[in-house]
Amino acid sequence: MEYKFTEENFEKEVINSEVPVLVDFYADWCGPCKMMMPVVEKLAETYDGKVKVGKVNSDENSALAAKYNIMSIPSFLIIKNGEVVDSAMGAMPMDTLAKKLDAVL
């Protein structure tokens, strides 16, 4: 299941999550973000129950984007126990993100 994270639910869903979280910062107008949509959806299916996978619209949640210094999109953060433990930027193959997730499990 793919989550939608917002400034309102970020602390509950991401910071206080009992499992690691992959956060995809994106925007609707971003071409590379659109390219990554099927990858993120597949990761959400693959890691269901082990990793929470979700998206943050950086235009609608600019305070979150600023807090995590998101300068370009797509940007991916892996958050575990409330802390950023890994990150990646730009479009990439699914196995690149999967390796990063496997490393925190």
Q: Per the residue annotation, which of 22, 33, 39, 40 is the catalytic one?
A: 33
Among this protein's residues, is 105 annotated catalytic?
no
Q: Per the residue annotation, which of 30, 88, 98, 104 is the catalytic one?
A: 30
Q: Reduce the DSSP state of residue 61 to 3 states and report it.
A: coil
What does each C-alpha distance from 50 to 45, 47, 72 come to in angstroms?
10, 5, 27
Among this protein's residues, is 33 annotated catalytic?
yes
Which alpha helices (DSSP H) does 25-80 contain, by range?
31-46, 62-67
Active site residues: 30, 33
